[in-house]
Amino acid sequence: MENFSPYLHQKTAQSRWPECNTRFQALMPDPLHFLDVNRLHNFISMSDMKYNAIVNTGIEIIYCVEIPKDLLPADAQVEIAAKVFHGYNAGKAYE
């Protein structure tokens, strides 16, 4: 075991799966289908990837709840602006 290096193991894993996203948005609706969810009345997320993954599997979303700007920390405004620019749905407060 003296030659074992967690760093080398991590680098090997990263080189094998360089574009692996650990969130797997396309699989996210599976638990909802397992629970027999057909409709979400209030969807609280700005992620267009989550929204599309849910809607594309046949689950209806009635209303996307807008996250108020005053709930976001001041140091997160730049990140939110970038996400909105790239397709996140943040509501009218972020236009």
- Read off the amino acid at residue 95: E
> Running DSSP on this structure, what letter comes out for residue 26?
G
d(CA 52, CA 69): 23
19 confidence band (pLDDT: 50, 70, 90): low
Residues 57-92 pLDDT 10s: 999 999 988 778 788 888 888 888 887 787 776 667
pLDDT > 80? residue 35: yes
The DSSP line for 31-53 is HHHHTT--EEEEE----HHHHHH
Angle made by CA atoms 30, 31, 36, in degrees to the nearest 5: 95
pLDDT attached to residue 83: 79
Q: Which pTM was predicted?
A: 0.62
